[in-house]
Chain A
């Protein structure tokens, strides 16, 4: 098994110790950092996403795989910066104001990173102003809103309205969470809806590709 396949396997197995060690080994063997990222870490996460969609992996497997990927990515980061390799897109994500649930949001953040996004995670209970502020600090290509409670879902509409009122070029917004539906997303003016974390990341990527074209 090549070193890159071993890295992918370590991510797949959620091995937070082995993934960074193998990443360092790959760098020591002079493999380009971008290749280690794409064909090692992200390849592993993509397979994790596939297994999650197929019902072979569950949320715990995805989250520990993400931890392994992040541990490997931390070793890669200075090399990527030196090589001028940056994620093509930036996503801002958060759970809306009044809601403290974060598992779904964390899962989507993981899948977005696996899809090649840089993710700014604003956390939970995020007021609309904070989303706006994050979008003003740097170019943001997509905003992800999460809510787990029907009582906090209305804040999604408030947040979207605030983004549209406050920004000249508001980024598209995708929404998700247990009580959220496509119909609700359409009603509140969201650009996309993710019924699950993997689909949410795919929708985000499609929106960004559509924006590029």
Chain B
């Protein structure tokens, strides 16, 4: 499936949530499922069929590649949840990351790859891989990423500032592990890659520094992303770029520079306005505020229906290719699963004149 097929899906009015977490948590043993590639693949397939999409979007789990890095660094499992790099451990890990073998991927990533393989071999759905972006992985590895990035934005170089040096080395390590994950998922049959880069937003990168000329977007976001892009192009794998963070137009223009097939944005954006900055051959995806779906007070069913209708009308008015969906992975919340599912069903079926 190529770009024109995604444009055709948009033109056909496709709607779909990122719903694998919801379906996963209808299993009695979700923690076992995520370690079993076949069962995980079946959950992803069931999600696609329930929500009537040909796209088998995987479960969004932004811890997968982090665990690969921590395994590489020899961090004991009991310490991984709160572990952060405070100093560079040496360049050996970079060499190892550049040549990761299957057995070094760890059970979660192996299961994710097997799930892609299941979709590719056992279904007629479009197998899609998913990775965390290099910058987002980096910020999850560092103790104080924002200060480091701000220092970087002030023009400090690695050879003159240890924070910047650690940031750049960690970003390189993260990039290599992400590339390895992408490679393995392409080998498993992925025809598109969902790249999640939530750190590429104003919480981490200051728009003030960007306005003053800091090249943070290029150095920290685009350069690593272009390496992923090159790998995808070589494999004729489509790029679905996802960033649900708070953004400014400058961030959006940077993402557009990657020329993704699909650009998935969070609920803070007005997609009908953003469409003016996005080429007509890039499908916009999103961006209903699904993180509020758990609460009928904060987000009544009627509001979901109204927002759905308004978004579809506004996107029709601007005429930009668009797939209606969720701002991010729709999480199953204990005690609110049915409430959330009802609202997802509502946006899937809301009629629009």
Contacts and interface: CB of A to CB of B under 8 A. Distances in A.
Interface of A: 14, 56-61, 63-64, 67, 100, 103, 123-125, 149-151, 153-154, 178-179, 181-184, 186-187
Given A64-B147, A179-B292, A187-B297, A59 B331 contact: no
Contacts of A103: 146, 203
Given A56-B208, A149-B331, A181-B295, 9 more contacts: A59-B203, A60-B205, A103-B203, A150-B291, A151-B331, A151-B333, A178-B291, A181-B297, A187-B297
A154 B295 contact: no
A184 B298 CA distance: 8
Contact of A60 (B150, B291, B298, B335): B150
Contacts of A58: 202-203, 206-208
Given A14-B150, A187-B297, A61 B333 contact: no
A151 B328 CA distance: 14
The listed residue with most B CB atoms (<10 A of its CB), out of A58, A63, A123, is A58
Given A150-B291, A151-B332, A184 B297 contact: yes
B204 interface: yes
B204 to A, nearest CB: 7
Nearest to B145: A103
Contacts of A61: 150, 206, 208
A64 B150 contact: yes
A154 B206 contact: no
Contacts of A125: 81-82
Give me the 7 closest cross-chain CB pairs, A-B, nearest first: A183-B297, A181-B298, A60-B206, A179-B291, A150-B333, A59-B203, A60-B150
Contact of B82 (A57, A100, A149): A100
Q: Chain B at the A interface: mostly helix, strand, loop or mixed?
A: loop
A151 B334 contact: yes
A148 to B, nearest CB: 9
Interface in B36-93: 81-82
A57 B207 CA distance: 9
Nearest to A187: B297
Contact of A57 (B149, B208, B331): B208
30 contacts: A14-B150, A58-B202, A58-B208, A59-B202, A60-B146, A60-B204, A60-B206, A61-B208, A63-B146, A67-B147, A100-B81, A100-B82, A103-B146, A103-B203, A124-B82, A125-B82, A149-B331, A150-B291, A151-B334, A153-B294, A153-B333, A154-B333, A154-B334, A179-B291, A181-B292, A181-B298, A182-B298, A183-B297, A184-B297, A184-B298
Nearest to A63: B146
Nearest to B202: A58
Contacts of B297: 181, 183-184, 186-187
Given A57-B208, A60-B206, A154 B146 contact: no
Nearest to A57: B208
A153 B334 CA distance: 9
B65 to A, nearest CB: 16
B209 interface: yes
Nearest to B216: A60
B208 A184 contact: no
Nearest to A60: B206
Contacts of A151: 331-334
Contact of A59 (B81, B146, B298, B334): B146
Contacts of B150: 14, 60-61, 63-64
A147 B167 CA distance: 26
